[in-house]
Structure 1
Amino acid sequence: MDRPGLQVLYANLVSDLAVDLEQREVLGAWAEQATREVWLLRSGDVLVTPVPVGEAFLAYACALTGVPRASVTVITLPDGFVSAGDRGAYRAAVEAVREAAAGRPVAAVLPTALDDAAVGLARGLGATVAPYASAAAAEAALDVTHLLNTKAGFRSTAQALGMRLPDGRVCRRAEVAGVVGELLASHERVVVKPDRSAGGHGLLFLSSAGGPWDAGTLAPVGGTEGLWVVEEEIDVARSVSVQLETGGEGPKPLFSGEMRTVGGSFTGYLSPLPAAVARFAPELEAWGRALGGFLTERGYAGPFGVDAMVSADGVLYAGESNVRRTATTTPQAMVARLAGPGDPTWATGRLRASAPYSFEEAVDRLHILRIAFDPARGEGIVLYSGAPADGVTWRYAVIADDRDSLERYEELLRSTWTTAS
């Protein structure tokens, strides 16, 4: 190993940074994606996850990354996550990691999101939170992390940093109806967003032609004191993002790309930015650097991203920030690890197979079709998130030298696996 102790990968997708913890159904769906964190494992590491990781998938990922399967341990949390106020859950998680470590020192906890639970886990293990020098330094960054993982916090910060935003207001729940009326007087459509929301959860789209509207249809989160954002609904032609990391030396762009969405919900990603939207890269990166400077000044270190929208008339608008490892961060790290040096084209997506498959059957089908990722060629299809709960809705990644090759891989996958994408 090239570090003085093992690393604990804490797949805390179930975190109050993203959405209110009372939204258990939503959190459960997100938790299923925690399995993708296996691509970050190095020899000796421990993965703490809210959902089980299938043995076939773990062996598959280890074979592609070259990590001996027997050298890594996966711990599944019995209740799905460690609540910031649940001392019993902390003790159980800490003891499970210590047992897995078998006396070896724990160097750091690498969380999906920097939250109170991640800091608490690191303190219990006598470790730091990567990439911070200490758990205390990570704890000092919690305020800005919580701020910028909210819609209202991002909107106020983005305005101060000079980003272009849709016309909108931040308000309390009781004020939402009035603000909706004000904005619909000047805009044909508006979107109402809970302060803490991710993946399109809880968004409400309203139009001036829609008739009377009742605030009772808002998502049941936030209470009367919770914040909401009401904005004009942009006629979105494309959705794009830039992902960066920051620390002592300031922000550094990592990659950018186009988000694949259905009904406003994220379904996949394509990187680098396609030619049709590549001209927005400088402005998008400038916004990311500005936000990274804001984060760095307040002690944050690690990954973050800015999501943006390209309107039908060709204007770029900032949408939100994600100050955590996102649905694109780990796949990109996987791509860099598998493809090696260079700048490959890659994408993630989702498809519904025409019949349920076990994980082993799904991998066999990729090999039969000769589209499975081939380390010798550095391209192909990777089933990066394991077997789906329903057996048919698969998440995949495709790595290729260029867009044409990538599209060929995806077309062959879809045409031979699916009845509908």
Structure 2
Amino acid sequence: MVRLLIGNDWSEELEEPAGTGWAVQRLLWFARDGDVLVLPVPPEEEFLSYVTSLTGTRRDSLEVVVPPPGRTGTGALTADRLTDPAFVAELRKRTAGRPVDEVFALWPDAAVAAAADALGCPGALEGHAFLTQSGGLLGSSKAVFRALAAGVGAPSRSARSAAIRGAPRSTSPACSTTAPSSSSRTSAPAATATRSSAAPPTSTCAAPGPYAPSPTGRRSPRTSPSAGTG
């Protein structure tokens, strides 16, 4: 039995690939004895030896396979690289006599399902049928994820709460000013004498700082737009 670990890190349906060959080598930390790893570029032997010395995985038990360059070169595992006939043939050679019992990928792409099909091990990829229909792309959508979570009863942050906490700091349109009451107004001759005693206008603008008003009346920490992707 063997595990196939695939170091793809994004979907071509979302954006053009960037040079992520070095970043996906974190996949090495997941490796166990006998695994076959698919990476966009060969890992540095020094780094591979360092990782296995900490994880206890035997370096000589690991197989690393790098597909031929694709339409964007070697920076990422694009779909054409994962389904390249020469690559599939090399995988079959590396796994000869050892059935693949698990396919693990950093990104649940339809190309991963296609690679599993080519190897004859679709059952080794969890959610295979879902991924063949670009299910990974659906799951990456926050709106679709929220709908799926609601459908299965999984807890998730309410959309209203997320909108309030994630809203940018308001400016003048959200403020309101209340003029002094008529009781504080005087006739023109006495205006100068009473001006200092007149109540100043009051404002309902939120005080500046890292806190924003909440519907409950309590002040809660303001969430930065870059603080998370939930």
State the TM bucket, normalised to the shorter chain.
0.5 to 0.7
Deviation per CA, 1:99-147, whole angstroms, max 9, x where unpaired?
A: 433x333413222233211111111112235454xxxx61245555432
CA distance in 1, matches of 2:138, 2:84: 24
- Residue equivalent to 2:160: 167
Matched letter for residue 84 of structure 2: Y
Aligned match for 2:52, one of 50, 62, 71: 62
Aligned partners of 2:8 and 2:39 also within 8 Å: yes
- Residue equivalent to 2:37: 47
Aligned partners of 1:106 and 1:126 also within 8 Å: no
CA distance in 1, matches of 2:222, 2:87: 42
Alignment RMSD (CA, Å): 3.9
Deviation per CA, 1:64-112, whole angstroms, max 9, x where unpaired?
A: 23322122122234332131xx3884323312323433x3334132222
CA distance in 2, matches of 1:167, 1:47: 43
CA distance in 2, matches of 1:70, 1:112: 23
Q: Tell me, which stretches of 5 or more residues in structure 1 are unaligned? A: 170-182, 191-205, 212-233, 240-261, 267-318, 321-421
CA distance in 1, matches of 2:84, 2:115: 6
Aligned match for 1:104, one of 94, 97, 106: 97
Aligned match for 1:8, one of 4, 8, 23: 4
Q: Which one scores higher on RCO, CA 8 angstroms, separation ≥ 6? A: 2
The reply to whether residue 152 of structure 1 matches residue 143 of structure 2 is yes
Deviation at 1:210, TM superposition (A): 9.8
CA distance in 2, matches of 1:238, 1:99: 55
Deviation per CA, 1:162-213, whole angstroms, max 9, x where unpaired?
A: 64423399xxxxxxxxxxxxx8xxx6963xxxxxxxxxxxxxxx554499xx
More helix by share: 2
Q: Secondary structure at the match of 1:117?
A: helix
**TM-score, normalising length: structure 1:** 0.35
Q: Tell me, which stretches of 5 or more residues in structure 2 are unaligned? A: 174-213
CA distance in 1, matches of 2:64, 2:125: 22
CA distance in 1, matches of 2:165, 2:103: 47
Alpha carbons of structure 1 residues 164 and 237: separation in structure 2 relative to 1, 3 Å: same
CA distance in 1, matches of 2:23, 2:51: 15
CA distance in 2, matches of 1:12, 1:67: 22
Alignment of 1:10-409 (within 5 A): 10-16=6-12, 20-22=14-16, 24-25=17-18, 28-29=19-20, 31-77=21-67, 78=69, 79=74, 80-83=76-79, 86=80, 89-101=83-95, 103-107=96-100, 108-128=102-122, 130=124, 132=126, 138-140=128-130, 142-143=132-133, 144-159=135-150, 161=153, 163-167=156-160, 190=167, 206=168, 208-209=170-171, 237=221, 264=226, 320=230
CA distance in 2, matches of 1:142, 1:131: 11
Alpha carbons of structure 1 residues 75 and 88: separation in structure 2 relative to 1, 3 Å: closer
**TM-score, normalising length: structure 2:** 0.59
Aligned partners of 2:52 and 2:58 also within 8 Å: yes
Alpha carbons of structure 1 residues 66 and 168: separation in structure 2 relative to 1, 3 Å: closer
Deviation at 1:237, TM superposition (A): 4.7
Q: Secondary structure at the match of 1:52?
A: coil
Alpha carbons of structure 1 residues 188 and 82: separation in structure 2 relative to 1, 3 Å: closer
Q: Secondary structure at the match of 1:167?
A: helix
CA distance in 1, matches of 2:84, 2:34: 22
Matched-pair identity in %: 27
Task: Give the structure with higher Rg (CA).
Answer: 2
CA distance in 1, matches of 2:137, 2:10: 14
Deviation per CA, 1:298-348, whole angstroms, max 9, x where unpaired?
A: xxxxxxxxxxxxxxxxxxxxx63xxxxxxxxxxxxxxxxxxxxxxxxxxxx
CA distance in 2, matches of 1:114, 1:45: 19
Matched letter for residue 48 of structure 2: L
